């Protein structure tokens, strides 16, 4: 047999062997390989992160009972996340949820399940409570938004709506649709 025929025969045998190995591989092993690629690369219990502003003061703090990081898309999942966004002069926004996901390299946090937002002031005057779900938070920009139902309680009454955008730094809230309010006059 010529050298050229031996090479051709060897290539056919290698191709057939490759095909057989691919076909005989267990479907579960492929699934396990994919899970390894998309599984967490690290996790932390009792996670806490503090981000500082340009003046070296806390801009926000993020806490969670558990955090799992995924390297394939640089995201993280959070159990019972608690986000504190600082405004100025002692005022801050306290945001809590059942679950969360950090996206875009930390630029946004998607809070899932029941979400509670509290505006806390040094004197507790102008207190505000917001109840919603599926809230997107951009902590650096101090901005939140949701397309879900929203309920806002303050000293003067209760407002409900569907959809909200809020600039926490400037205390601006835009309610997007189906806005209803019940207000009680304050006695002085």
How confident is the model over 87-102, as pLDDT tens digits?
A: 877 788 889 999 999 8
Decide if 188 is inside a domain.
Answer: no
What pLDDT does 3 receive?
A: 67
Asked if the model's pLDDT at residue 28 lies above 60, the reply is no
Asked if the model's pLDDT at residue 2 lies above 70, the reply is no
101 φ, ψ (degrees, to nearest 5) = -145, 130
Percent of the chain with pLDDT over 70: 77
Instruction: Tell me: do 26 and 46 sit in the same domain.
Output: no
What pLDDT does 182 receive?
A: 85
Asked if the model's pLDDT at residue 112 lies above 60, the reply is yes
Instruction: Tell me: do 26 and 105 sit in the same domain.
Output: no
Percent of the chain with pLDDT over 90: 14
Higher per-residue confidence, 157 vs 134: 134
* Signed CA dihedral, 16, 22, 23, 26: sign only: positive
Query: How many beta carbons lie within 10 A of that of residue 92, not counting itself?
Result: 19
Which letter, b or e, does each residue of 40-77 get, where b requires 16 or more Cβ atoms within 10 Å of its Cβ? eeeeeeebebeeeeeeeeebbbbbbeebbebeeeebbb
- Which of the residue ranges 7-21, 45-59, 89-103, 118-132 would you say has the lowest mean pLDDT? 7-21
Instruction: Tell me: do 69 and 109 sit in the same domain.
Output: yes
Say how many domains are in the chain: 2
Strands (E), 80-184: 82-86, 92-103, 108-120, 128-138, 143-154, 157-167, 172-183
Q: What are the tens digits of pLDDT across the range 155-187? A: 788 888 899 899 888 888 888 888 788 877 766
Confidence of residue 116 (pLDDT cuts 50, 70, 90): very high
Calculate ∠ Cα 178-184-187, nearest 5°. 160
Look up the domain containing 17 and give its range: 3-37
Q: Using DSSP, state whether 4 is helix, strand or coil.
A: helix
What pLDDT does 33 receive?
A: 46
Instruction: Tell me: do 177 and 159 sit in the same domain.
Output: yes
Instruction: Tell me: do 63 and 134 sit in the same domain.
Output: yes
pTM exceeds cut of 0.85: no
Instruction: Tell me: do 78 and 102 sit in the same domain.
Output: yes
Instruction: Tell me: do 23 and 82 sit in the same domain.
Output: no
Instruction: Tell me: do 50 and 32 sit in the same domain.
Output: no
What pLDDT does 14 receive?
A: 63
Q: CA-CA distance, 163 to 32, in Å (whole number)?
A: 40
Query: How many beta carbons lie within 10 A of that of residue 161, not counting itself?
Result: 21
Q: CA-CA distance, 14 to 19, in Å (whole number)?
A: 9
Token pair 């875009």 is found at 104
User: What is the rounded average pLDDT for all residues in the chain?
Assistant: 80
Instruction: Tell me: do 33 and 44 sit in the same domain.
Output: no
Instruction: Tell me: do 21 and 89 sit in the same domain.
Output: no
Asked if the model's pLDDT at residue 18 lies above 90, the reply is no
């Amino acid at each position: 047999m010529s050298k050229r025929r031996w090479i051709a025969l060897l290539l056919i045998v290698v191709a057939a062997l490759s095909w057989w190995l691919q076909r005989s591989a267990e479907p579960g092993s492929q699934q396990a390989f994919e899970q390894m690629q998309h599984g967490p690369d690290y996790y932390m219990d009792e996670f806490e992160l503090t981000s500082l502003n340009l003046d070296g003061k806390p801009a926000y703090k993020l806490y969670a009972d558990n955090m799992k990081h995924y390297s394939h898309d640089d995201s993280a999942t959070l159990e019972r996340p608690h986000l504190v966004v600082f405004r100025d002069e002692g005022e801050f926004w306290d945001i809590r949820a059942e679950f969360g996901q950090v996206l875009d390299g930390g630029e946004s946090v998607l809070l899932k399940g029941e979400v509670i937002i509290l505006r806390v002031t040094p004197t507790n005057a102008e207190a505000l409570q917001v109840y919603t779900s599926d809230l997107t938070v951009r902590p650096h920009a101090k901005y939140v938004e949701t397309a879900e139902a929203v309920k806002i309680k303050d000293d003067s009454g209760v407002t409900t709506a569907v959809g909200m955008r809020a600039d926490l730094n400037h205390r601006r809230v835009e309610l997007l649709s189906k806005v209803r309010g019940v207000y009680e006059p304050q006695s002085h």
